[in-house]
């Protein structure tokens, strides 16, 4: 854990946000050595932050003790180079317990996952996240999706809540997001507040979200193809439309079609991708299932196609693969009173 506030460290980032998968050994128990290797590789590849034990990391499948060990392993593996954000979810009491475990493990912040099962009203949601934010000194990013969709007034109230520093949107209603950004900008001009595109395969909607000023996004692809994800991030950041369009058409659009071919593929297909790249992180835990063999083969072909696209782009530019999308200014999340 570092002394710099999480929000400050995420305001300007130089790479994608990394959501590592959780590694299991042959006996189904945690494999923390492989997990640390996975995290270290992501940091070395240019991750701007590590989001440990969140959706891609199978938060739902971990016991509290396993969760604490994973978060501590992520903190150790990053060695302070980038912030570590841990998931926290279920009902309020359990979410608070996970938050305290994350704090004890050295995390820099929390991603507050939706409450378990119930569909609460806006007042209940505000109370839930306020109690979670008050439980520790960790900064909290609230995740909007499924049964936790907020009105602009609720997000404004959360933005005024001590400890709540941002909103990750996994719902995908850009009309709602624009009204939310406007409400917070007008109602809390003194509060810096971060916004994240949290849709599955967020790169596909990156251009649309940038249109309303949201540049931070979670990248599941970074877990298994950091070269492709990093190249796309650099291109999107610097406005390289040619590279963005080529990667969207050759890789990301067909990847989304493949992801939609099976239940739970937003996690299990990502984990299969990590294994394809040579790191044995084990299978997913129940109730998720492994992707069909044909779909894993299709993923391998897609990764190859994405890399071929990068090589072709580099050839156009007269350089080595990746040169066509090298470097660029850091992306950032929109803050109150400011649009990227």
The SS3 call for residue 264 is: coil
What is the secondary structure of 186-244 as a DSSP string?
Answer: HH-TTS--EEEE-STTGGGGHHHHHHTT--EEEESGGGT-HHHHHHHHHHHHHT-HHHH
Q: Could you tell me the two tokens for 156? A: 């404004």
Q: What are phi and psi of 112, to 5 degrees?
A: -85, 105
Rounded alpha-carbon distances, angstroms, from residue 26 to 23, 285, 291: 10, 12, 18
What is the secondary structure of 304-315 as a DSSP string?
Answer: HHHHHHHHHHHH
| Radius of gyration for the alpha carbons in the chain, expressed in angstroms and rounded | 19
Q: What are phi and psi of 28, to 5 degrees?
A: 90, -5
168 is catalytic: yes
Q: How far apart are CA 211 and CA 209, in angstroms?
A: 5
Chain centroid to CA 229: 12
Catalytic residue among 168, 195, 209, 271: 168
90 is catalytic: no
**Which has the closest alpha carbon to 103: 172, 212, 9, 1?**
1
The SS3 call for residue 86 is: strand
**Which has the closest alpha carbon to 194: 46, 56, 17?**
17
Rounded alpha-carbon distances, angstroms, from residue 113 to 4, 56, 59, 110: 23, 12, 9, 9
Catalytic residue among 143, 195, 252, 265: 143
- Residue 28 is classified by DSSP as S
Tell me the catalytic residues.
143, 168
């Amino acid at each position: 854990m570092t002394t710099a506030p999480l929000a400050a460290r995420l305001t300007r980032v130089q790479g994608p946000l990394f959501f590592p998968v959780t590694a299991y050994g042959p006996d189904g128990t945690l494999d923390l050595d492989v997990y640390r290797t996975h995290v270290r590789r992501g940091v070395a590849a240019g991750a701007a932050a590590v989001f440990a034990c969140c959706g891609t990391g199978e938060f739902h499948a971990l016991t509290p003790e396993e969760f604490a060990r994973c978060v501590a392993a992520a903190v150790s593996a990053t060695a302070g180079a980038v912030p570590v954000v841990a998931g926290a979810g279920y009902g309020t009491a359990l979410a608070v317990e996970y938050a305290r475990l994350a704090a004890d493990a050295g995390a820099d912040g929390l991603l507050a996952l939706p409450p378990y099962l119930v569909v609460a009203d806006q007042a209940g949601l505000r109370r839930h996240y306020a109690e979670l934010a008050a439980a520790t000194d960790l900064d909290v990013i609230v995740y909007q999706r499924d049964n936790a969709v907020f009105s602009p007034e609720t997000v404004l109230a959360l933005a005024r809540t001590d400890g709540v520093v941002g909103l990750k949107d996994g719902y995908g209603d850009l009309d709602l997001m624009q009204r939310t950004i406007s409400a917070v900008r007008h109602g809390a001009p003194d509060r810096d507040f971060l916004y994240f595109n949290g849709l599955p395969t967020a790169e596909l909607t990156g251009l649309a979200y940038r249109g309303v000023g949201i540049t931070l996004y979670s990248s599941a692809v970074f877990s298994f193809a950091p070269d492709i994800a990093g190249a796309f991030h650099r291109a999107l950041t610097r406005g390289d439309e040619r590279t963005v369009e080529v990667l969207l058409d050759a890789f990301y659009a067909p990847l989304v079609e493949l992801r939609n071919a099976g239940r739970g593929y937003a996690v299990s297909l990502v984990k299969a991708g990590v294994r394809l790249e040579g790191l044995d992180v084990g299978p997913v835990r129940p109730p998720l299932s492994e992707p069909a063999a044909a779909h894993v083969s299709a993923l391998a072909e897609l990764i190859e196609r994405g890399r071929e696209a990068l090589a072709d782009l580099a050839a156009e530019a007269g350089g080595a693969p990746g040169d066509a999308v090298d470097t660029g200014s850091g992306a950032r999340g929109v803050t109150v009173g400011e649009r990227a």
